[in-house]
Structure 1
Amino acid sequence: MTMTKVNVKRAVVTGIAAGVVAGLVKLGWENLLPPRTPARNATNPPQRLLEQLGVPESVTHATYTYSEQQMPYVSFIMHFGFSTTFAVLYQLARQKFPVITRGQGTLFGLGIWGLYHAGIMPLMGTIPSVKDQPVEEHVSEILGHMVWMWTIDRVGLGMASDAR
């Protein structure tokens, strides 16, 4: 049996690039199918999580102005941080455990949704329990996570094959 050597540099570079692209895709997805009502989005899950960790609201709700709109840059930092972290982990893991790429990342994305949106975040009180979330939220988040990880898979695969 041969041991597969993990190319960490390639995984980090492709993961960061794929995570940024997929983060943009997920933001676009959420504009088409918003996961939360405006009232529930007044403090979104990344902001709520930071507040649970003791970060003051003045920081979690900090914004910049673009085209006369207030944009929540702290939420964007969290969003892209989450996306690139999981993209790097996925790129590392795919080299050792190619089975995770079944479904071109969509099954992995579904697993991430289940772990965080149906498990960890409700248990922490960051978001409501699964039964208390509207069906529209489940549809947006489930499909959004599948598209997000599919993008990470495809961008990462394309970059990895270009590096050979």
Structure 2
Amino acid sequence: MTLFDHRHLNLPAAIIAGGAAGIISGFVKLGWENVLPPRTAKRDAVNPPETLMKQVGIPDSILNASYHYSGHEIPWAGFVIHFGFSTTFAVLYQILGEKVPAIKKDAGTWFGLAIWVAFHLGIMPAMGTVPTAKEQPKDEHISEALGHIVWMVTNDLVGTDVYRRLTQQSHRH
């Protein structure tokens, strides 16, 4: 077994497959967080995407912008961060996974856990976006770790299938 796969990478197909996977997995992660909320209600009053946007100077007019659906006021700016993160890492996973198959070991489980460790235990605490890993409740660690696994397995399943369909289709013509 070699570390790198020397097959041709169809970059447009990988980007499309990763983008589709990232959108779907973003919805899966939102659903997951409704079943196992990662943060207490108090900590979620200003969630990490909102905190990050404040830290980088996004104006309140954008931060507080919302849309209305079925009698609910939904803040869309946090969704931009959520789905932007999801699709960015799904595309990266799809591209890297086609060239370095070890990244896709166990359907992305380890890649998902690595993203959780890097961002929720390292980068975001270092930036002051979330509390330090020791200050985060155990429930948050459980929800986020399992949620990142489910999120990345979704990316793996969807991205792999879409990429296969796109590349098989292009070989038929």
| TM-score, scaled relative to structure 2 | 0.90
1:157 & 1:3 partners in 2: Cα distance?
A: 17
Counterpart of 1:11? 14
1:36 & 1:58 partners in 2: Cα distance?
A: 25
Runs of 5+ consecutive residues of structure 2 not aligned to the other structure: 169-173
Contact kept in structure 2, 1:118 and 1:130, CA below 8 Å: yes
1:11 & 1:72 partners in 2: Cα distance?
A: 30
Contact kept in structure 2, 1:47 and 1:61, CA below 8 Å: no
SS in 2 for 1:64: strand
Select the residue among 59, 63, 66 that pairs with 1:60.
63
Offset at residue 43 of structure 1 (A)? 1.1
Offset at residue 150 of structure 1 (A)? 0.2
| Segments ≥4 residues shifted beyond 4 Å | none
Counterpart of 1:85? 88
Offset at residue 64 of structure 1 (A)? 1.4
Q: Whose Rg is larger?
A: 2
Runs of 5+ consecutive residues of structure 1 not aligned to the other structure: none
Q: Percent identity?
A: 51
SS in 1 for 2:134: helix
| TM-score, scaled relative to structure 1 | 0.95
Number of matched residues?
Answer: 164
Counterpart of 1:116? 119
Select the residue among 18, 30, 33 that pairs with 1:30.
33
Select the residue among 82, 103, 106 that pairs with 2:106.
103
Offset at residue 8 of structure 1 (A)? 0.8
1:106 & 1:57 partners in 2: Cα distance?
A: 36
Offset at residue 162 of structure 1 (A)? 1.9
